[in-house]
A and B are shown apart, each in its own frame.
Chain A
Amino acid sequence: MDNATGFSNAALPITLTINGAEQRLAVEPRTTLLDLLRETLHLTGTKKGCDHGQCGACTVLVDGQRRVSCLALACAHDGASITTIEGLGTDDELHPVQQAFLDYDAYQCGYCTPGQICSAVGLLQEGHARTRNEIRELMSGNLCRCGAYANISDAILSVLSQQETV
């Protein structure tokens, strides 16, 4: 029991499929998906920028949909399938969005980049971005303080165009 809140912090059993591997975990009810990934599972590619769902640095794919993992309680996602930046692409073959970020220099410091890339992958799956302006709008939940936006939009647009021509 937490003295301050009166709520129990006893760990709860959950099962998550993380980057394709099923994991049985015991998580405190207050633990966010972000802190579980970073602090417990040491999947530190997912970044903490604000911890308030305002910057997008912690974006991951939950059952294929982009989510800010800092606003997701881990225990509320029992049974979910999570894809983090570590689960996209391989050393031999980057995910097309990762490759486009490299080619277009769509990042500088790299801190927002895992979230940008996960968000872009989710955006492409959603299928409603057809124009540069739509990409700009629909990627605006992912802040980039280095100001790489023009290159981020180009990188995503290039992948979108490739997908269309395939």
Chain B
Amino acid sequence: MANANNISDLASAAPPASIPRRIEGRDKVRGRARYAGDITSQEMGGVLDVAVAVTSTQASGQVLAIDDAAALKMPGVRLVVSHENAPRLHKIMSLTGAEIGDLLPLQDAKIHYAGQCLALVVADTLEHARAAAAAVEVRYSAPDPQAAFTLAEDGGRTKDVAKVGGGDPGQVKIGEARPAYEKADFQVDMTFLTAPHHHNAMEPGAVVAAWDEDGGLTVQLPTQFSYGEAVILGEAFGFGLKDRLPRLISQVLGGFDFNHKVRVIATLAGGSFGGKTSNVHLLLAPLAAKLTGRPVKLVLTRAQTFSLMPYRGETQQRIRLGADQNGQLQAIIQDAVLAKGTAGQFVEPTSEATVKAYSSPNILVHQQAAALDLNAPGWMRGPGACLGQFALESAMDMLAEKTGLDPLDLRLRNHADVEPDTGKEWSSKSLIQCYQAGAARIGWADRDPRVASMREGGRLIGYGMATAIYPVKQMPAVACVILGADGQAVVQTATQEIGQGMITALTQIAAETLGLELAAVRLEWGDSALPYGGMTVGSMTTLSAGAAIQEAAQQVRQTLLKWVVQDPASPLHGQPADGLRVAQGRLVAPNGASEAVAAAMARHPDGSINEEAITGRTFGHSPYGRSAFGAQFVKVSVDPDTLHIQVERLVGAYAGGRVINPVLVRSQLLGAMVWGLGQALLEESSLDPRTGRWMNTNLAEALVPTNADIANIEAIIIDEDDTRGHPLGVKGLGEIGIVGTSAAIANAIYHATGQRLTSLPMRLDKLLAARLNA
């Protein structure tokens, strides 16, 4: 009998210590990492008022009156700001299609959605502000009976869309898909529904705003785009041209900088996942602070994040696949209807992966959007692609069954050797290796492929797989690298840390290029006073900011080498600059002569070497198709009586070019697969169809995966050389883990039970309904 004290499981070995861990990691585990909500009055010159938002309880109509008399008499209250007394803001343009591009806060009495911010209460303490906010009375006109909140009751709002996501075509027509589908030997025609769900980052939206005596504005908040936020503030508050859109253009085109009056400091984001760019609180705190003349902190409550921050909107997709006798796809037809807000331009790019996943001579995509009376949906991890692949990969599973092919074999037969929608050669593609590695790891070949055939310990067992694909994109970025007299380097670029590990990965790129130890390089980031670092979106930060850093660091290195060989005081004097190596902070000549970078720089006449680089101005335009690929393999068990679904194993294999830091990338991949599991089985933001209110605005009812939901999860990283795609060789792996995972789970549930679930999340009540209807 085992000793009761024995630990029955062993921890996996920690990754090798030679792989750098997060540079900000000690601060994070010691509670010293600073997030926007952590900013105290001490850091703000002794004054920091607290704001609490008052939100609409109905989704339409007008505010008739805001009665703040009682609130204003309460202790510590400084201000109640509403449309009745708020300064007028100037219309802005949101580059990300955010709601505030169409709907500025507190400007008029019209109500656009439930949970809209109607007033802000500012007080000296959180308790005072909260109590006063509860005492603000709002009177409303009758709600609009025509208001619509779901796609099922869109009331004729559905319209074709020209563009989705960041500019992908809303309509795609390659070949003649309809006739090809009609005459195909095998046909699959399925419709999929996906529920809205929210990011629910652990850190809610938060912002601190302070106006200075010269009319300048400093805003600190978690954001994925500090420059974008600065421009929005500059536009909304009527600053001069130097603080408006030309600021971005001048930075991207020429790295030009001016003396700006708006400064945005991106704090560490406590999770973001697409949800922390250009939200309404960006404007609310500065608006209140302008009126009080004192710094203001606003932190949203968890419930408020449901309406004052974006989410992934509801979608419907019909997928039709036509294949010939050999299982070769002849037609892919996607018809999607996507929820959007009445304000906000964002439409889910559901087609992004669909047009690139498989070789098919005929592809037809028809996307429509319906503007609903809800707060606007927005970008969320794996936007579009994860929904598109849920539908396409579920349909592929059914096609495999119809054709009698193994699901993996079907995918291999339809492997896209070139980029399907453009015909371009891929820069690199290691999807087949991903399939092989994932299949081997989970034991794909050992399963009984017959539906509902496997059992373990009384539970039904099923295996499923899916293809993952995520496009490689590059955005413009500017980086400045400064090698100082002490041989230490400072790297500057205003990109953002949202938990992905940007600080560490970019510091590694700089250190490696400069030939310095990691500890000799310090990254300055997130502050719009630094060079333009781009948006932290689309898994493209390492490539976008990394390319600029690499180029600037290469220039610094070249300048250093050229100078040192001409410096008579250097032991390297007279050596050919081209022959020198720099590593671990030492310059080394082929003949063995060497000098520490710090020793050389101590003599440098300028005291430092400064170089700046701008990259990505063509937005990553390439003669090649560029994408990261992967595959998920899943084992589920289903209780035959309760229909409880448990993911027993989740294996993903991914190839995304060069991996700067395998520890961080593995964490990103695992985290995104956890997101896929949550999307598959748990996540749904419930709407009251009568009132348009989000109903489960808390973390007990809006389920996200917990530790107990995650059993055996593995990410395999496949080596891949993508220097043909970009000299840095990086593709980006932050989101691909969610793309495909929900389909792999759906396919595993089908294999286990014979029930095909086509609606996310796949809860056991849906499985029960499917069984009863079978």
A residues adjacent to B (C-beta < 8 A)? 2-4, 9, 28, 30-31, 35, 38-39, 42-52, 54-55, 57, 84-86, 88-89, 91, 94, 98-105, 107-114, 117, 130-133, 135-137, 139-140, 142-155, 157-158, 160-161, 164
Contacts and interface: CB of A to CB of B under 8 A. Distances in A.
A45 B671 contact: no
Q: Which of B21, B126, B671 gathers most chain A CB within 10 Å?
A: B671
Contacts of A153: 707
Contacts of B11: 104, 154-155, 157-158, 160-161
B699 A50 contact: yes
A49 B204 contact: yes
Nearest to A98: B29
Contacts of A52: 302, 698-700
A160 B7 contact: yes
B92 to A, nearest CB: 28
Given A43-B31, A48-B37, A140-B706, 15 more contacts: A3-B73, A9-B127, A47-B203, A49-B203, A54-B699, A55-B202, A98-B29, A103-B17, A109-B203, A132-B9, A140-B708, A144-B707, A147-B675, A150-B670, A151-B670
B65 interface: no
B70 interface: yes
6 contacts: A102-B22, A109-B268, A109-B269, A148-B670, A157-B7, A158-B11
Interface of B: 4-12, 14-15, 17, 21-22, 24-35, 37-38, 40, 42, 70, 73-75, 125-127, 131, 134-135, 199-204, 268-273, 299, 301-302, 498-501, 663-664, 666-668, 670-675, 698-700, 704-711, 713
B507 to A, nearest CB: 16
B708 A131 contact: no
A128 to B, nearest CB: 11
B699 A143 contact: yes
A100 B35 CA distance: 23
A46 B667 contact: no
Given A105-B667, A111-B270, A143-B699, A45 B202 contact: no
Given A4-B131, A147-B710, A157-B9, A55 B705 contact: no
B280 to A, nearest CB: 20
Given A30-B127, A102-B26, A139 B707 contact: yes
A4 B672 contact: no
Given A45-B30, A140-B706, A51 B301 contact: yes
A77 B516 CA distance: 52
Contacts of A51: 301-302
A123 to B, nearest CB: 11
A105 B664 contact: yes
A105 to B, nearest CB: 5
Given A111-B271, A140-B707, A143-B704, A117 B498 contact: no
A39 to B, nearest CB: 5
